[in-house]
Amino acid sequence: MKLLVSNIPPLKTEHQNFKSAFMSGLEKYDKISIASGYISVSSITEIQKIIQLNKKPKLDLIIGMHYFDGFTNPQYQAVKNLDSFLFEKELGRIYLAYVSMYHGKIYSFENSKNEPQETVIGSSNLSTITTDQRIYESDLLIVDKKINKDIKEFLESLKKKYCKPFSDIHNIKINEKNILLEEHY
């Protein structure tokens, strides 16, 4: 197990950060399963670009909060485009949690035999791969085979019992304005 931290001054450390561990996993492995509360347009666009250029990794993405909070129109279009691309190329699916909100952040990498190899769990949102915001995040990179197998089983159960494929949900809420800023002055 390894600690991953943002390394924003004045708290610089020798530890790797989330973005470098995430990008390394995309290069090394053939599949990634992601469960994240929120997504950003830039992170969805970046993942699609990486998969198009490299023809890998396969991707299963669980989005945990947007079914309840709604998508902005650009978020919805980005997710719709990625879901169509993944489905057409047989490279994965996008799922929405619809039973209740899911706010975890799990990034599980598998080899070509569908064996989990590494998982990142922590506070880093998916949007971290495309932004340099000054938010200090901390995560754990897990390389233990048993724990990674347990995480894979959890993600499979989450997909089956908590989620529906994005393309199967027809009542997706689109927010015309950013509700996250309401009542904040």
Tell me what pLDDT residue 179 has: 54
Tell me what pLDDT residue 131 has: 80
**Per-residue model confidence as pLDDT tens digits over 44-92:** 999 999 999 999 999 999 999 999 999 999 999 999 999 999 999 999 9
Q: For residue 8, what pLDDT band results from cuts at 50, 70 and 90? A: confident
Element (H, E) at 41: helix 41-54
The dihedrals phi and psi of 184, each to the nearest 5 degrees, come to -115, 120
Q: pTM for the full model? A: 0.92
Count, residues in the chain: 185
184 pLDDT higher than 60: no
**Per-residue model confidence as pLDDT tens digits over 131-161:** 877 889 999 999 999 999 999 999 999 999 9
Tell me what pLDDT residue 94 has: 98
Q: Phi/psi zone of residue 37: left (φ > 0), alpha (ψ -120 to 50 degrees), beta?
A: alpha
**Per-residue model confidence as pLDDT tens digits over 12-48:** 999 999 999 999 999 999 999 999 999 999 999 999 9
- 119 in Cβ contact with 142 (< 8 Å): yes
For residues 18 and 8, what is the distance between their CA atoms, to the nearest angstrom? 12
For residues 22 and 107, what is the distance between their CA atoms, to the nearest angstrom? 8
177 pLDDT higher than 80: no
Chain mean pLDDT for the chain: 94
For residues 137 and 179, what is the distance between their CA atoms, to the nearest angstrom? 24
Q: How far is CA 127 from CA 37, 132, 143, 155, 171, in A?
A: 11, 10, 23, 20, 25
Is the four-CA dihedral 138, 59, 81, 161 of positive or negative sign? negative
126 pLDDT higher than 70: yes
Nearest to 108 by CA among 32, 8, 55: 32
For residues 173 and 7, what is the distance between their CA atoms, to the nearest angstrom? 37
Q: Phi/psi zone of residue 15: left (φ > 0), alpha (ψ -120 to 50 degrees), beta?
A: beta
For residues 118 and 104, what is the distance between their CA atoms, to the nearest angstrom? 17
185 pLDDT higher than 60: no
